[in-house]
């Protein structure tokens, strides 16, 4: 029975995470497929490139909500099944599983042939449902560094790591502002695995940051910008050749 409950949590959370909010919002607002623009990912930054700031904000909020909803469903399914004296409790373990399954759904959506985004917003949404102070710290750093440097990927990497260090420090020092007992170790485990997810999905961004070729916020796709120039340069040459040929005759 317990195993079936865990399986149910994983499946439901994965399906929640798989909802392609960025693709749906991009088609609704800009009539564009965000997967054919920029990085091809479905997250906020690429939605901004494809459909603008309004679409990006809506997509961000929905991706955050996916993670929080997954954890909320796990809480409801395992309601009351908690042992405050156990190291790993069923309730908190179910939340951990739900958060990770939601991230996996976002990154490898069953509705997009197992493609998707990088999982940062969904990671933070689940973290907010687990322990919102860590999510607030991570979110502030993500946007502060992203806006300051114009590299949202850098903000995402630093913000995820900062959330991990905060939760780990709270667990070691037995600090918890939201409950009387000690902070569950499952929270630190969730953030640790989540950070691995986030960094693994940003491998190409890390390489471009190192090489100085990473795309900045608001930067247009260079490939699409080059096509009109090639066409424009061909037209005058063709007209010039025809005109000179007629004159010679």
With 50 as the cut, is the pLDDT of residue 143 above it?
Answer: yes
With 50 as the cut, is the pLDDT of residue 232 above it?
Answer: no
- State the CB neighbour count (10 A cutoff) for residue 120: 31
Region of 113 (left: φ > 0; alpha: ψ -120 to 50; beta: rest) is left
Report phi then psi at 115, rounded to 5. -120, 170
> For residues 87 and 22, what is the distance between their CA atoms, to the nearest angstrom?
38
Note the pLDDT of residue 7: 95
Note the pLDDT of residue 220: 61
Please write the tens of the pLDDT for every residue from 149-196: 999 999 999 999 999 999 999 888 888 888 777 788 899 999 999 999
Q: Determine whether 53 is exposed, middle or buried from the number of CB atoms within 10 Å of its CB (0-12, 13-18, 19+).
A: exposed
Mean pLDDT of 12-30: 96
**CA–CA–CA angle 11, 14, 19 (5° rounding):** 130
Note the pLDDT of residue 39: 87
| Closest by Cα among 65, 55, 76 to 135 | 65
Mean pLDDT of 202-213: 93
Note the pLDDT of residue 87: 53
Alpha helices in the chain (DSSP H): 2-18, 21-30, 44-51, 53-77, 90-107, 120-149, 152-172, 185-201, 203-211, 222-248
Q: What is the DSSP string of 163-200?
A: HHHHHHHHHHTT--SS-SSPPPHHHHHHHHHHHHHHHH
pTM, whole model, 2 decimals? Answer: 0.84
Q: Which residue has the higher pLDDT, 229 or 30?
A: 30
């Amino acid at each position: 029975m317990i195993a079936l409950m865990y399986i149910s949590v994983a499946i439901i959370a994965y399906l929640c995470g798989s909802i392609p909010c960025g693709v749906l919002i991009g088609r609704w607002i800009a009539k564009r497929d965000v997967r054919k623009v920029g990085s091809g990912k479905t997250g906020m930054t690429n939605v901004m490139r494809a459909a603008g700031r309004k679409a990006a904000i809506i997509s961000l909020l929905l991706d955050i909500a996916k993670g929080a909803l997954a954890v909320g469903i796990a809480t409801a399914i395992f309601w009351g099944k908690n042992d405050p004296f156990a190291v790993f409790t069923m309730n908190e373990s179910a939340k951990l599983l739900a958060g990770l399954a939601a991230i996996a759904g976002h990154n490898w959506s069953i509705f997009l042939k197992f493609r998707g985004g990088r999982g940062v917003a969904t990671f933070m949404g689940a973290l907010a449902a687990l322990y919102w102070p860590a999510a607030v710290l991570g979110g502030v750093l993500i946007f502060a560094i992203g806006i300051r440097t114009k590299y949202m990927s850098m903000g995402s990497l630093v913000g995820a790591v900062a959330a991990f260090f905060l939760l780990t420090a709270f667990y070691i020092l037995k600090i918890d502002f939201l409950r009387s007992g000690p902070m569950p170790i499952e929270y630190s485990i969730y953030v640790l695995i989540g950070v691995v997810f986030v960094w693994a999905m940003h491998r190409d961004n890390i390489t471009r940051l190192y090489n100085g070729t990473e795309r900045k916020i608001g930067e247009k796709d260079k490939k699409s910008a080059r096509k009109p120039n090639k066409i424009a340069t061909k037209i005058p040459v063709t007209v010039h050749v025809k005109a000179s040929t007629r004159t010679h005759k």
